[in-house]
Chains A and B, each alone.
Chain A
Amino acid sequence: MNCDEAERFLDAYLDGELELSQQLELEQHLSGCAECQAVLQERREFRAFFTAAAPSFKAPPELRERVLAITREEPAPAKPKVRQFPLWRRPWLYAAALLAIGLPIAWMVFHENREHRFARQAVSDYLRALFVDHLCDVVSPDPKVVKSYLMAKLNFSPPVVDLASAGYQMRGGRIDIVQSRRVATLVYRRNKDVINLFMWPATRHRFTGSDQVMSGLRICTWNDVNLNFIAVSTLSDAELDRFTDLFRDAIGNR
């Protein structure tokens, strides 16, 4: 693979959409090409900016009414009676429909968004740490060292486990701020891939567990031993799953 071909694949690579053979070829090229690595980094940063700043539009209330009017005023061909609905009944119907449909949705969106917001911020912390080249406040392969450092700065005891035998090397830890709370971040590495594992006590909102992709990064959230966890990584789905399984087993067996 040459640089031109590599450049064509970079976005799909960050999207996690390459076939395995293409991915391996690209990674092989990247490992020997500083220029393409720089382009990759530039793409990553641009995507992080784009996902954070891209506009998202909410339907204005009058549009909702216009759409409701379609279904109220244009009857299905078989039932032409709808048109005879007295006008005064419509506002009531709107209100009822808005309440009946809007409330559960608002509730769901609120909850979904919360998990999403956390994940988004975790991703930006991950990208920022890579960007400024400051992955760890404390660098050590020893879980005890990392744990005692983190405990001194936090009001909870983060579980830190050794997964080196499974191929996930402990690199260290740092403190991050996610949604204005202090969280512990463990940094593991598997070959070239970095895993950031964010954790903090779940007070009111417990994560339900989800997998998503943002800015080409895989994100896995879950709740365990009263802590919320977000794992962010460039690993493939299968490898990140394996990591989270190993981690959960390890803290379960302590």
Chain B
Amino acid sequence: MGKELPRFEELFLPHLDAAYNLARWIVEKDQDAQDVVQEAYARAFKSFAGFRGVNPRAWLLTIVRNTAYNWIQKHLREDNLIPFDEKIHAVPASEPSSESSYEKRREQLQEALSRLPPDFREVLVLYEFEGWSYKELASALNVPMGTVMSRLSRARRRLHEAILEVRDLETEDEL
């Protein structure tokens, strides 16, 4: 097996949580995210011989995001007839009233996040969790810095609006 395998695991296995987190944020569901991550690692393993970079985490995450977008493309074609259905179902009809308000806000945030387009969720997770700078985002996403700035800003604003919408919906349910 040579030295390839231990080195691959040593370099990339520590970033499994980050890879999974990114995939969850982009494709949302657990099983889908697992499939994406598994495929991304398989791709990474195949092209590993070509890896000369200094930042295995960023390299891996770029593969994860590409894989995730391929997955979404494929999935959209297959499921063209039922867009948004799941999202409607995801709103719980009635909330248990004993819930703490913090938990509730967390759930509202989750629900609001699922209303954003995936590329908005992606910049949010890469910026907030991975701590990528605008410059790093621009190079990984292959867009100009100005686009990073406006996408991130729009993502936050849309998310804020979505949270308010979700809260309104829930208030209506309670009435």
Interface residues of chain A, those whose CB is within 8 Å of chain B, are: 8, 10-12, 15, 17, 43, 46-47, 49-51, 53-60, 62-64, 66-68, 70-72, 74-76, 78-79, 81-82, 97, 101, 105, 212-213
Contacts and interface: CB of A to CB of B under 8 A. Distances in A.
Interface of B: 1-2, 4-5, 8-10, 13-14, 16-17, 19-21, 24-25, 30, 33-34, 37-38, 41-42, 45, 49, 102, 105-106, 109-110, 113, 124, 127-129, 131, 133-134, 149-150, 152-153, 156, 159-160
Nearest to B160: A46
B134 A17 contact: yes
Given A17-B133, A57-B20, A63-B37, A79 B152 contact: no
Contact of A60 (B2, B34, B127): B34
Nearest to B43: A70
B1 A11 contact: no
Given A12-B134, A49-B105, A81-B1, A59 B16 contact: yes
A76 B5 contact: yes
Nearest to B44: A70
Contact of A59 (B19, B42, B106, B124): B19
A46 B37 contact: no
A76 B153 contact: no
A181 to B, nearest CB: 22
Contacts of A58: 17, 20-21
A10 B124 CA distance: 16
B45 A17 contact: no
B2 to A, nearest CB: 6
B45 A47 contact: no
B42 A101 contact: no
Nearest to B110: A55
B16 A64 contact: yes
Q: Which of A57, A75, A76 has the most CB of B within 10 A?
A: A57
